[in-house]
Amino acid sequence: MAEKKRKMSPRRTARVRAVQFLYQWGIQHQPAPSRKSLEEFWTLCPAGESVRRFAEDLILGTIDHIAFLDERIAEYLENWQLDRLAAVDRSILRVALYELFYRSGIPPVVSVNEAIEVAKQLGCEESGKFINGVLDRALRDLNRPLRAAGDAGGEG
């Protein structure tokens, strides 16, 4: 019997779209994205309003804090350099670290788990493990609980 393909949640879809946009933005070396560049992206990758809103928050927040996020990534890498990372892995890490450091309403374990799932979907075979290792080191710098009170590891 064929396995049913699970539909992605709106929040994961938004994370995937944010990573896709940031990947494209990063390889094109564009200045900060304009409303026009975001609208062009949404024309190619249609999404509902809630997905767009969350994805754009992740995109714009990540870009606003890109220097800090890249410094953290470089700090957490072991025997590796930021500029040598696969562009998609770098984009996934940027979004995940933005969530960890700037989106206190999302439990850290949710951000990490979501990043691993996005890496499995968009990255290479080893991306999930790699992302997990880097984010595990990042969790040590957080000054907040890894789970929200009453959180069972659900989607944030």
**What is the mean predicted confidence (pLDDT) over 42-64?**
96
Q: Is 146 exposed, middle or buried (0-12, 13-18, 19+ CB in 10 A)?
A: middle
Q: What is the pLDDT of residue 150?
A: 46
Has residue 42 got a pLDDT over 50?
yes
In the chain, where are the structural domains located? Answer: 10-28+42-139
Structure token digits, residue 32: 């900060």
Q: What is the pLDDT of residue 2?
A: 44
Helices then strands, counting H and E runs in the chain, come out as 7, 0
pLDDT band at 9 (very low <50, low <70, confident <90, very high): very high
Has residue 28 got a pLDDT over 60?
yes
pLDDT tens string 63-98: 999 999 999 999 999 888 888 999 999 999 999 999
Euclidean distance between CA atoms 110 and 79, whole angstroms: 27
Euclidean distance between CA atoms 117 and 155, whole angstroms: 12
Has residue 155 got a pLDDT over 60?
no
Global pTM exceeds 0.95: no
Class of domain 10-28+42-139 as given by CATH: mainly alpha
Farthest-apart Cα atoms in the chain, separation: 49
* The dihedral formed by the CA atoms of 122, 68, 76 and 120, expressed in degrees to the nearest 10: -10
**Helical H runs in the chain?**
10-28, 35-44, 49-64, 66-76, 87-102, 108-122, 127-139
